[in-house]
A = this chain, B = another copy of it.
Amino acid sequence: MSWFGKNFIKPTLTILRTELSFALVNRKPVVPGHILVCPLRPVKRFKDLMPEEISDLFNTVQKVSNVVEKHFNGTSLTISMQDGLEAGQTVPHVHVHVLPRRAGDFEKNDTVYEVLQNHDKEDMAASEKWRSEEEMEAEANELRKYFQIEPFCR
């Protein structure tokens, strides 16, 4: 079972699960392919992670990054962690945002961060803007295939 803060994350919304980490699709992606990667242990701050958890978490971030950059035709990635309330964290469970990027995806390149920063707050406040579970599951199914078909990605 995977928990993201107090939310139980269904396996159908999880695209990869490792010994110590998991990756889930986003109910309100900032760009197509916006994935969250979390430690399985629901600690709040990055400083709470053990060395093995950090290694597993960011090796998982790399695997997920490679897949979403490819699948969503990205040429770059924004990889970001809002670690603590004053950095914009709202869900008290360490999570790394992975966003495939490409030229012109935002009018101003840095807008991605502004949108990302507001992401959690809006996400909490406006559940009517969330994607349907069916849409999220369909995306997760597509992305999960990369890890099943290509064992080297595991």
Contact = CB atoms under 8 A, between A and B. Distances in A.
A80 B80 contact: yes
Protomer copies = 2
A113 B80 CA distance: 10
A88 interface: yes
A51 interface: yes
A43 interface: no
Contacts of A87: 76-78, 101, 109, 112
A84 B88 contact: no
Interface residues on A, range: 35 or more
Contacts of A66: 47
B76 A105 contact: no
Given A54-B62, A110-B113, 12 more contacts: A46-B77, A47-B62, A55-B58, A75-B85, A76-B89, A77-B83, A86-B102, A87-B109, A110-B117, A110-B118, A112-B113, A113-B113
18 contacts: A47-B66, A49-B62, A51-B55, A54-B58, A54-B62, A55-B58, A55-B59, A57-B58, A58-B58, A76-B82, A76-B86, A78-B81, A78-B83, A79-B80, A86-B102, A88-B110, A110-B116, A113-B116
Interface of A: 46-47, 49, 51, 54-55, 57-59, 62, 65-66, 69, 74-89, 101-103, 105, 109-110, 112-114, 116-118
